[in-house]
């Protein structure tokens, strides 16, 4: 996924989010702020972070007031320290107050994903392993959250169910086993970007390797077992390289152990389902 964001592609989503937040109207702002009052809002980093979604932030206000101007000083993917101001927004005071919460929610969320991803990426530096996201994303925000993963230096796994064949434990159980599932999947192999199968032990791995999948997902294995599995994959004769992916039970405290076990990919659901929002404020002053 690109590290540039076409904010216009998300306008309908932003309109729906604004409708949810505004409801029948911003009563407090309408009662307390004069309609002609102009204002400047400064985005301020309150903690170290990787910036994500700054243009999306501005688009929220532009949808409320097309004449809104934004001065961008720092761009998505850049690291900020507390006190840095990545952008300033100029619009009516009413516009800034009404759009503030939604704009900040998105900016804090995407920056949080990018920041956490960067921590995982840095934890495995020098090992050759790549950090991948999963489909454990917030409904409606998948494209944005996966964009944020890339900003943090991670890679995107499947964007949706139609991109690749990924045979997991429930598929295996319902189809009658690893071999049965892989055999059934062969007919659709040319319709997918890659074929991947999940295994939980070395016996299932040996069974899977007979079908030369593109990727084997080593699920919930400890680093020692992952190392043994990687060795088996490397020794297996195949027409092309079979990639290995580790997943399950992976945290910042142990991710390097998995990386040093020799896997190509490490998928981490926490990048999107558990990334904490970073501390960013929006300070509004009258003009």
| Residues designated catalytic | 101, 136, 168, 198, 219
User: Which residues make beta-bridge pairs with 265?
Assistant: 130, 245
Question: CB under 8 Å to 170, separation ≥6 — which residues?
Answer: none
Q: Are 278 and 111 in contact (CB under 8 A)?
A: yes
Phi-psi region of 153 (alpha: psi -120 to 50; beta: other; left: phi over 0): left
Buried b or exposed e, range 106-145, using 16+ CB within 10 angstroms? bbbbbbbbbbbbbbbbebbeebebbbbbbbebeeebbbbb
Question: CB under 8 Å to 253, separation ≥6 — which residues?
Answer: none
CA 282 from chain centre, in angstroms, equals 24
Sort strands 38-45 and 87-92 into parallel, antiparallel or unpaired. Answer: antiparallel
Token digits of residue 99: 């759009």
């Amino acid at each position: 996924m690109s590290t540039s964001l076409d904010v216009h592609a998300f306008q309908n989503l932003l309109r729906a989010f604004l409708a949810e937040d505004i409801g029948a109207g911003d009563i407090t702002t309408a009662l307390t702020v004069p309609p002609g009052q102009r204002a400047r809002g400064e985005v301020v980093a309150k903690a170290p972070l990787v910036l994500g979604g700054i243009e999306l932030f501005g688009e929220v206000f532009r949808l409320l007031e097309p004449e809104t101007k934004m001065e961008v000083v720092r761009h998505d993917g850049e690291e900020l320290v507390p006190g840095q101001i990545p952008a300033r927004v100029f619009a009516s005071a009413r516009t800034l107050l009404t759009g503030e919460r939604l704009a900040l929610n998105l900016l804090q969320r995407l920056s949080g994903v990018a920041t956490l991803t960067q921590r995982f990426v840095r934890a495995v530096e020098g090992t050759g392993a790549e950090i991948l996201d999963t489909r454990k994303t917030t409904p409606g925000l998948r494209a944005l959250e996966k964009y944020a993963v890339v900003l943090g230096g991670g890679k995107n796994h499947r964007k949706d169910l139609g991109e690749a064949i990924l045979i997991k434990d429930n598929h295996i159980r319902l189809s009658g086993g690893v071999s049965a599932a892989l055999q059934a999947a062969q007919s659709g192999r040319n319709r997918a970007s890659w074929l991947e199968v999940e295994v939980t032990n070395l016996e299932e791995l040996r069974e899977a390797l007979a079908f030369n999948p593109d990727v084997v997902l080593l699920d919930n294995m400890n680093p020692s077992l992952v190392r043994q599995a990687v060795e088996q994959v490397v020794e297996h004769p195949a027409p092309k390289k079979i990639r290995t992916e580790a997943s399950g039970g992976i945290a910042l405290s142990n991710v390097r152990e998995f990386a040093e076990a020799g896997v190509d990919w490490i998928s981490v659901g926490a990048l999107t389902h558990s990334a904490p929002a970073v501390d960013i404020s929006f300070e509004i002053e009258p003009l």
